[in-house]
């Protein structure tokens, strides 16, 4: 429809982007200069070492908890896995620490995969509970096994070394630790700003929508969990070679809780928030352990009391943690640049007009005693706009959910282009070319309109975690964004492209959902009340858009209550009442049908 904004030349947005990069680069350089300050006590360097080690773990937890909406009480255990692995390999078998890094990380990730496969498919609270119990079990195991030195642990573990140089003191290992931290922040930022990153961000609040666009949410959760374990493993490996000893104490549940505290204190906004969270908690602990016994006397762990209170207060008062305070000081992130010259994504062939594209035979859905859809049969031909109408509670949205695999059928058959699709998952059905919108809008309010719509193109890309974190996915990303931008402009939301989706009106969100569905490159588009909340002029625009789609070979099935809208637009209407099909035909036929009149107006009409 409109094609106004976002065609501005890419150059104009570059300065803001580089300003933010300059800020982070400066921060990194400052960090690296700290040990060179003349006369800085070793004590401070050691504290910074510990902050870096903790930040590595906390970055993973921010991704897991803040972004993915899961949590784990097993992060310290993952550190311990890697620390013990490298200690055994290097101290007993004389392996090079650099080689053992790979083995330690691989073993830890394997443990995370096994644990994740078990717990991730379960509802949210089983992951923390599972990791909690598992963490306690492994903690006790560390202290009981002879070959791990029982409670005494393993000592001495050789230090890291390059050539003849050994990283013995806290000043030299400082650089190793912080190089890892900066790489981790950088790669995590890259990961979040990618195809997989959009899927991860959709886990929290829109997972069923994500499934309808081909995102395997269970697998995505597993990816995040294993990624977090990977970062914990690197931290554990560094710890073993920094301390040159391992014992069970730092790998207990208490430590895991502390890491979670850091992630919460840092906030969900940005991976770099982990550094602030780690610094906050480490320094707070340092101050409390020195100050409180001095104030109150005794040997009691007052810092635990204060920690708990601070954690509760943060969650009560500022669920975003410290990051918003930091972000206020940063330059605004630039809007992503859309390159219009990338080759367009390939499109699936449209079925020839007139062919039966969707066929429902005796479809039935029962919720215990309630029959929501009662042996309904109808079919739709390719290239038509079909309407599914009926009074509230007639079973229209349930029928949609049956077709898209969101709900399982009680009995009956659904065919899409002669292939049975009942029993398939929403992902598999999406992959066949059925796009949909939702009656209750499912968009991610804190993500931009562009990102929300790009999620719809998930199946048209293939880049995974590795290529995303290494920025090897840019060509594909440019294509996905170009497609998303094209669909956003097509539906008329061009001027809102870079706004947060949460700032749009409900009617606009419904249109956003249409753009997202179009990004899937569907042959069949299912729209659930697309015109609800639209003004008259916007409804006319929507009609024009749908007619245009039809002329391009798209088939549309829509549920709608606005009779004027449906009657003017559709070629074919199916009427449901109390889950039963009561009429079918052209708009003119249906509007004269006595059963329809009775259903809408009552018996005497």
Partner 1 sequence: MDSTILLFLLQDGITNGALYGLLGIVTVLVFAVTRIIFVPQGEFVTYGALTLALLDTGRVPGTIWLLIGFGVVAFAVELWMSRHDLNARKIVREALIKIILPCLIALAVIWLAPMKLPPWANLLITLAIITPMGPYLYTIAFRPVAEASVLTLFIVAIGVHLSMQGLGLVLFGAEGLRGTPLSTLSLPVGPLVATGQTLSIYVLTLVTMAALTYFFNKPLFGKALRATAINRLGARLVGIRTSLSGAIAFVLAAIIGALTGALSAPMTTIYYDTGFLIGLKGFIAAIIGSLASYPLTVIAALAVGIAEALASFYASQFKEVIVFTLIIPVLIWLSLSSHHVEEEEE
Q: Quick one: CA torsion of 557, 482, 269, 505, rounded to 10 degrees?
A: -40
Q: Per CB under 8 A, which region of 40-48, 89-97, 116-124, 468-476 contacts partner 1?
A: 116-124
Question: Considering the rule CB under 8 A, would residue 124 count as an interface residue with partner 1?
Answer: yes
Closer CB to partner 1, residue 72 or residue 399?
72
CB of 269 closer than 8 Å to CB of 99: no
Closer CB to partner 1, residue 218 or residue 249?
218
Q: Per CB under 8 A, which region of 7-15, 205-213, 235-243, 585-593 contacts partner 1?
A: 205-213
CB of 210 closer than 8 Å to CB of 104: no
Q: Per CB under 8 A, which region of 314-322, 374-382, 415-423, 472-480 contacts partner 1?
A: 314-322
Least gap, CB of 185 to partner 1 (angstroms):
23
- The CA-based diameter of the chain, rounded to the nearest angstrom, is 97
Among 48, 67, 101, 132, binds partner 1 (CB under 8 A): 132
Q: In what order do the strands lie in the sheet with 370-381?
A: 370-381, 356-367, 411-416, 419-420
Helix (H, G, I), strand (E, B) or coil at 369: coil
CA distances from 75 to 72, 282, 390, 412, 513 (A): 7, 17, 52, 47, 37
- Interior angle at CA 523, CA 517 and CA 524, nearest 5: 70
Among 75, 87, 211, 400, binds partner 1 (CB under 8 A): 211
**Any alpha helices (H) in 297-379, and if so which ranges?**
302-317, 323-327
Report the distance separating Cα 102 and Cα 185, nearest Å.
20
Among 191, 202, 270, 303, binds partner 1 (CB under 8 A): 303
Q: Per CB under 8 A, which region of 90-98, 112-120, 176-184, 190-198 contacts partner 1?
A: 112-120
Question: Considering the rule CB under 8 A, would residue 134 count as an interface residue with partner 1?
Answer: yes
Among 316, 346, 368, 392, binds partner 1 (CB under 8 A): 316
State which H helix or E strand residue 584 sits in.
strand 580-585
Least gap, CB of 182 to partner 1 (angstroms):
28
Question: Considering the rule CB under 8 A, would residue 291 count as an interface residue with partner 1?
Answer: no
Question: Considering the rule CB under 8 A, would residue 287 count as an interface residue with partner 1?
Answer: no
Report the distance separating Cα 530 and Cα 269, nearest Å.
32
Among 29, 39, 94, 123, binds partner 1 (CB under 8 A): 123
Least gap, CB of 394 to partner 1 (angstroms):
23
Residues 481-500 that bind partner 1 (CB under 8 A): none
Question: Considering the rule CB under 8 A, would residue 220 count as an interface residue with partner 1?
Answer: no
* Site map 235..274 versus partner 1, x via CB under 8 A: ----------------------x--xx--x----------
**In sequence order, what DSSP letters do the residues of 6-18 get, joined into one string?**
S-S-GGGGHHHHH
Token code pair at residue 326: 């930091």
Question: Considering the rule CB under 8 A, would residue 113 count as an interface residue with partner 1?
Answer: no
Question: Considering the rule CB under 8 A, would residue 118 count as an interface residue with partner 1?
Answer: yes
Closer CB to partner 1, residue 427 or residue 490?
427
Question: Considering the rule CB under 8 A, would residue 122 count as an interface residue with partner 1?
Answer: yes
Report the distance separating Cα 214 and Cα 198, nearest Å.
12
Among 42, 110, 283, 300, binds partner 1 (CB under 8 A): 300
Among 37, 42, 291, 305, binds partner 1 (CB under 8 A): 305
Among 125, 219, 290, 355, binds partner 1 (CB under 8 A): 125
Question: Considering the rule CB under 8 A, would residue 228 count as an interface residue with partner 1?
Answer: no
Token code pair at residue 20: 């933010």
Among 301, 364, 471, 561, binds partner 1 (CB under 8 A): 301
Least gap, CB of 175 to partner 1 (angstroms):
34
Considering CB under 8 A, how many residues would be counted as binding partner 1? Answer: 55
Question: Considering the rule CB under 8 A, would residue 205 count as an interface residue with partner 1?
Answer: yes
Helix (H, G, I), strand (E, B) or coil at 295: helix
**Any alpha helices (H) in 381-535, and if so which ranges?**
396-403, 426-431, 449-455, 465-469, 474-491, 506-519
Question: Considering the rule CB under 8 A, would residue 304 count as an interface residue with partner 1?
Answer: yes
* Site map 493..532 versus partner 1, x via CB under 8 A: ----------------------------------------
Least gap, CB of 378 to partner 1 (angstroms):
27
Long-range contacts of residues 346-352, Cβ cutoff 8 Å, at least 24 apart: 347/521, 348/433, 348/521, 348/523, 350/382, 350/383, 350/523, 350/552, 350/553, 350/554, 351/382, 351/417, 351/523, 351/553, 351/555, 352/382
* Site map 148..177 versus partner 1, x via CB under 8 A: ------------------------------
Least gap, CB of 289 to partner 1 (angstroms):
12
Closer CB to partner 1, residue 128 or residue 522?
128
Among 50, 71, 190, 555, binds partner 1 (CB under 8 A): 71
Question: Considering the rule CB under 8 A, would residue 121 count as an interface residue with partner 1?
Answer: yes
Of 131, 160, 158, give the one whose Cα is nearest residue 255. 131
CA distances from 47 to 280, 284, 412, 554 (A): 12, 12, 66, 62
Q: Per CB under 8 A, which region of 18-26, 297-305, 354-362, 591-599 contacts partner 1?
A: 297-305
Please compute Rg for the chain using Cα positions.
29
Token code pair at residue 552: 């391009």
Q: Quick one: CA torsion of 143, 145, 150, 151, rounded to 10 degrees?
A: 0
- Before 165, cis peptide (omega within 30)? no
Least gap, CB of 559 to partner 1 (angstroms):
20
Phi, psi of 452 (to 5 degrees): -60, -45
Question: Considering the rule CB under 8 A, would residue 190 count as an interface residue with partner 1?
Answer: no
Closer CB to partner 1, residue 34 or residue 141?
141
Task: Give me the residue label for tokens 């079919």.
Answer: 379
Helix (H, G, I), strand (E, B) or coil at 297: coil
User: Which residues lie near partner 1 (CB under 8 A)?
Assistant: 65, 69-71, 117-119, 121-126, 128-130, 132-134, 136-138, 140-141, 144, 203-205, 207-208, 211, 217-218, 257, 260-261, 264, 298-312, 315-316, 319
């Amino acid at each position: 429809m409109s094609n106004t904004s976002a065609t501005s030349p890419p150059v104009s947005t570059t300065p803001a982007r580089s300003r933010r990069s300059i800020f982070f680069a400066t921060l990194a350089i400052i960090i690296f200069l700290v040990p060179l300050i003349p006369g800085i006590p070793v004590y401070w360097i050691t504290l910074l070492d510990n902050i870096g080690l903790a930040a590595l773990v906390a970055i993973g937890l921010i991704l897991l908890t803040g972004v993915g909406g899961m949590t784990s009480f097993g992060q310290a255990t993952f550190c311990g896995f890697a620390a013990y692995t490298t200690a055994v390999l290097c101290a007993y078998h004389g392996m090079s620490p650099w080689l053992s890094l790979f083995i330690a990380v691989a073993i830890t990730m394997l443990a995370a995969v096994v644990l994740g496969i078990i717990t991730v498919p379960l509802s949210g609270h089983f992951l923390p509970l599972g990791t909690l119990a598992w963490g306690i079990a492994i903690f006790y195991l560390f202290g009981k096994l002879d070959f791990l030195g029982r409670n005494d642990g393993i000592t001495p573990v050789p230090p890291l070394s390059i050539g003849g140089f050994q990283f013995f003191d806290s000043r030299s290992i400082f650089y190793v630790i912080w190089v890892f931290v900066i790489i981790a922040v950088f790669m995590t930022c890259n990961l979040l700003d990618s195809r997989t990153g959009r899927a991860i961000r959709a886990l929290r609040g829109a997972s069923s929508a994500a499934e309808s666009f081909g995102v395997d949410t269970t697998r995505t959760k597993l990816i995040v969990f294993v990624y977090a374990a990977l970062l914990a493993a690197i931290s554990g490996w560094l710890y073993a070679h920094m301390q040159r000893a391992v014992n069970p104490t730092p790998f207990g549940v208490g430590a895991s809780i502390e890491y979670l505290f850091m992630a919460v204190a840092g906030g969900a906004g940005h991976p770099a928030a982990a550094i602030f969270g780690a610094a906050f908690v480490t320094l707070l602990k340092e101050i409390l352990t020195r100050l409180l016994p001095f104030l109150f006397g005794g040997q009691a762990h007052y810092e635990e009391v204060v920690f708990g209170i601070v954690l509760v207060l943060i969650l009560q008062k500022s669920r975003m943690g410290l990051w918003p305070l930091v972000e206020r000081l940063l330059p605004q992130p630039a809007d992503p640049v859309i390159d219009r010259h990338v080759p367009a994504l390939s499109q699936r062939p449209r079925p020839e007009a007139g062919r039966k594209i969707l066929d429902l035979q005796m479809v039935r859905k029962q919720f215990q005693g309630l029959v929501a859809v009662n042996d309904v049969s109808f079919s739709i031909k390719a290239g038509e706009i079909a309407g599914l109408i009926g009074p509230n509670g007639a079973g229209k949205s349930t029928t949609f959910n049956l077709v898209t695999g969101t709900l399982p059928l009680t009995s009956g058959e659904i065919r899409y282009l002669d292939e049975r699709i009942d029993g398939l998952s929403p992902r598999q059905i999406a992959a066949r070319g059925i796009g949909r919108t939702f009656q209750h809008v499912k968009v991610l309010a804190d993500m931009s309109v562009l990102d929300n719509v790009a999620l719809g193109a998930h199946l048209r890309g293939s880049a995974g975690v590795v290529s995303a974190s290494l920025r090897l996915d840019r060509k594909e990303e440019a294509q996905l964004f170009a497609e998303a931008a094209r669909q956003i402009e097509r539906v008329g939301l061009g001027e809102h492209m870079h706004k947060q989706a949460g700032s749009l009106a409900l009617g606009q969100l419904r249109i956003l959902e249409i753009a997202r569905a179009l990004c899937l490159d569907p042959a069949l588009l299912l729209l659930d009340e697309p015109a609800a909340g639209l003004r008259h002029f916007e409804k006319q625009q929507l009609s024009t858009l749908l007619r245009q789609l039809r002329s391009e070979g798209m088939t549309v099935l829509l549920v709608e209550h606005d009779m004027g809208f449906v009657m003017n637009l559709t070629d074919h209407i199916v009427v449901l009442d109390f889950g039963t099909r009561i009429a079918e035909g052209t708009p003119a036929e249906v509007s004269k049908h006595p059963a329809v009149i009775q259903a809408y107006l009552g018996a005497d009409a």
